[in-house]
Amino acid sequence: MSQTVDRALSILPLLAEGPADLGQVAERLGVHKSTALRLLRTLHEHGLVYRQSDQRYRLGARLFALAQETMENLDIREIAHPHLVRLNEACGHTVHLAVYEEGEVLYIDKVESRYPVRMYSRIGKPVAVTVAAVAKLLLADLPEPERRALTDKLDYPLYTARSTPNAPAFLRELEQVREQGWATDLGGHEESINCVAAPIRGADGRVVAAMSVSAPNVVVTAEELLTLLPQVRRSADAISGEYSGRTPVTDPTRDLA
């Protein structure tokens, strides 16, 4: 909607690929070098872009700080965290919390496994949306048209032989997930890793987040992991209760200066 801002923001994903110098930025934006320079300078003043010693630009530290603050301001996360910790203490495995936003699912909290073998994941990283248990729960609850539109334009990468292969299969799976109220990922993302997940609902019953327990085959079999399902669901329901009670659409903003 605003050309100048649009151009400036287009620089960010470009730099996310790796450092670039002024000429490269200008070329990829399709603007004059002087224009690119002014945009980069503005981004720099705000700390979103950093100029390293070799004069090339890369993304800046402020991005981390912003991402950090965003996360800490998410009220679901705050409410859920102690429950995740408790569940982790009870079962010992890695516990994740995830939310949906604009076609993506991302982890917003994580409590690490106590076992030495850990699965790789990082808070803030977009989740493999076609296979992850938490993603299935979040997508299953979308209004039908949105769900349809999304599943249509998704890719279905075959991480393993058990990955969801295409849109129709995925839609069927989502249907089932929605009805049973829980989801699994049995080696669909990484051959040797299984997850069980349960939904967290707001006061209106809509799914606002999902949590999961993940563990590699070498620690527990898929069957053993499934026995944890009741525990996971109880945790999720407890969070749902607190969340519905405390924060329907409340606004704790206090700055009427």
Partner DNA sequence: CTCGCCGTTGCATTATCTGCAACGGCCATT
Partner DNA sequence: AATGGCCGTTGCAGATAATGCAACGGCGAG
Please tell me the distance from the alpha carbon of residue 38 to that of residue 25, in angstroms, as a whole number.
12
Report the half-sphere exposure of 130 (CA within 13 A, side-chain side).
Answer: 20
In the complex, least distance from residue 28 CB atom to a second copy, rounded to whole angstroms: 9
Please tell me the distance from the alpha carbon of residue 17 to that of residue 13, in angstroms, as a whole number.
7
- The item of DNA, a second copy, none sharing an interface with residue 179, based on CB under 5 to 8 Å by kind, is none
CA 240 to chain CA centroid, Å, is 19
Nearer to a second copy, 52 or 179 (CB): 52
Task: Give the DSSP per-residue string, 26-47.
Answer: HHHHTS-HHHHHHHHHHHHHTT
Please tell me the distance from the alpha carbon of residue 89 to that of residue 111, in angstroms, as a whole number.
10
Residue 68 binding a second copy, by CB under 8 A: yes
Please tell me the distance from the alpha carbon of residue 185 to that of residue 195, in angstroms, as a whole number.
5
Nearer to a second copy, 162 or 202 (CB): 202
Binding-residue pattern over the window 18 to 57 for a second copy, x denoting contact by CB under 8 A: xxx---x-------------xx-xxx-xxxx-x--xx-x-
Considering only 12, 14, 19, 38, the residue that binds DNA (CB under 7 A) is: 38
Nearer to a second copy, 245 or 248 (CB): 248
Please tell me the distance from the alpha carbon of residue 82 to that of residue 58, in angstroms, as a whole number.
36
User: In this structure, are residues 105 and 126 in contact, taking their beta carbons and an 8 Å threshold?
Assistant: yes
Residue 55 binding DNA, by CB under 7 A: yes
- Positions in the binding site for DNA (CB under 7 A): 2-7, 21-23, 31-35, 37-39, 55-56
Residues at the site binding a second copy, with contacts judged by CB under 8 A: 1-2, 4-6, 8-10, 12-13, 16-20, 24, 38-39, 41-43, 45-48, 50, 53-54, 56, 58-61, 63-71, 73, 101-102, 104, 106, 112, 122-126, 249, 251-253, 255
